[in-house]
Amino acid sequence: MTGDAATQEAQDAAAPGRVVAVRGPVLDIAFQPPLPEVNEAILVSGDGLTVAAEVQGHLDERTVRAIALQPTQGLWRGAVANRTGQPVMAPVGNGVLGRLVNMMGDAADDGPPFPPDIPRRAIHHAAPAMSEQSGSSALFETGIKVIDLLAPLAQGGKAAMFGGAGVGKTVLVMELIHAMVAGYDGISVFAGVGERCREGHEMLNEMRATGVLDQTVLVYGQMNEPPGTRWRVPLTAMTIAEYFRDEQARNVLLLMDNVFRFVQAGAEVSGLLGRKPSRVGYQPTLETEVADLQERIASLGAASVTAIEAVYVPADDFTDPAVGAISSHVDSMVVLSRQLASEGIYPAIDPIATTSVLLDPLVVGPEHAEVAGRVREVIEHYIELKDVIALLGVEELGREERLSVGRARRLQRFLTQPFFVAAAFSGQQGRSVALKDTIAGCREILNGGCDDWDEGDLYMIGTLEEAREKHAARAKTGSTGGVERREGAVS
């Protein structure tokens, strides 16, 4: 190529483009070749308005189609579009600790804007190679009995909380934040995907009150923002987490609420770009988009990124393609049950459907694995007998089965506990229970040590010692705990 041709190409590459069509958040922009690359950020401006967009495809030799990352009200055909030559860049490093940022990396709290020299990283980044990753079976104790027993979490692993609307996903994630962040030696990054502004405000104030905000970064894309923004929020949060893992060799706890809204935003973007929908109306790139995000969550050397994700299950349908795509990437799968929530069992975690690849004698130890297996077996047998009990009454069962049903009901109640984040609503102080106490309590119930205790003594407590004290007090007063006994007689 001659010098004049090279100079002309450089001038064309630097020349601004012009918006030729605006269809909601979808912008068609004409440029001189060479065109901006896919995923490159474009700044469209005019009359004091600046809108960031991300290139999603090349329509022809001179036109790109981009998705807006900010509201497009006020944009017009002919508006000037400037290339940036790079993807969206997120601020990283110690400067973002204790701050709430939006998807574009701008400060969204009441603090000062970030300085111009703050380090930044591209939000699009390939997952680390398999040969670079390191595995870990070190357990994360959460203090939540049913999770520690039946779905243990691993440092450097991925855990997801699946549930329909109103069964307690966000409360459970908030409790995990409370339980783990305060005693966690590392950085915490929270991604609020399609969150309500109220939830973000509450979380910011709570973290300030508990004194853990200085080691936390909050990244929010609210539900009233364009789909492109909600679609890219997890990538911004992931980029911040990766920096602390790679550059500072620090462990990172990544919390996401709600990953389904990430998929939902991707489906909106796909429809806006004119792609044909796939199963149940989802985008044809569903599996790829989920994998691109989830595979970036990994451990490198001595540092790890541990992910805890809330996942909305539409219409309580666990066969939904989005739920299946997300569940195939997680190590621990916590399933919330609407039936248990309606019975007042909180956290409403289904002990049968909840699983973890770590629940192995070689990882958690033989005692833990054996007790967890027996707990599942006893509760599952009780569920099988529920229809018989409802029709004929518990008295029609044999003696061994009546004992088994009683123990299953006591186990269900023992695995409930009051949460710290719900204390204002429940009126009960939260409890955190060590794993060894959970195992010891379940073993005693399974072995018949609590057969003559009232079920109410085991409801919403911490360790079994609390129930023992309640049982002793009840024995002195002669109280029978009638509500629990009547419930037991009919169910």
| Tens of pLDDT, residues 59-91 | 999 999 999 999 999 899 999 999 999 999 999
* pLDDT score of 475: 85
| Tens of pLDDT, residues 424-472 | 888 889 999 999 999 999 999 999 999 999 999 999 999 999 999 999 9
| pTM, to two decimals | 0.90
Catalytic annotation, residues:
169, 195-196
Q: Comparing C-alpha atoms, which of 328, 264, 323, 325 is closest to residue 336?
A: 323
* pLDDT score of 486: 37
* pLDDT score of 439: 97
User: Which of 4-13, 137-146, 201-210, 360-369 has the largest mean confidence?
Assistant: 360-369
**pLDDT grade, residue 133 (50/70/90)?**
confident
* pLDDT score of 491: 36
Q: Write the CB contacts of 324 (distance below 8 Å, at least 6 apart in sequence).
A: none
Peptide bond between residue 224 and the one before it cis (omega within 30 degrees of 0):
no
Determine the straight-line distance between the first and last CA of the chain, rounded to whole angstroms: 84
* pLDDT score of 283: 96
Q: Do the beta carbons of residue 123 and residue 90 sit within 8 Å?
A: yes
Could you give the count of Cα atoms lying within 13 Å of 208 in the half-sphere of its Cβ? 10
Q: Using CB atoms within 10 A of its CB, is residue 65 exposed (0-12), middle (13-18) or buried (19+)?
A: buried
| Tens of pLDDT, residues 363-417 | 999 999 999 999 999 999 999 999 889 888 888 888 899 999 999 999 999 999 9
Output the six-digit token pair for 445. Answer: 């119930």
**pLDDT grade, residue 226 (50/70/90)?**
very high
Could you give the count of Cα atoms lying within 13 Å of 361 in the half-sphere of its Cβ? 5
| Tens of pLDDT, residues 88-119 | 999 999 999 999 999 999 998 888 999 999 99
Residue 55, pLDDT > 60, answer yes
3-state SS class at 158: strand
Least-confidence region, from 10-14, 127-131, 201-205, 357-361: 10-14
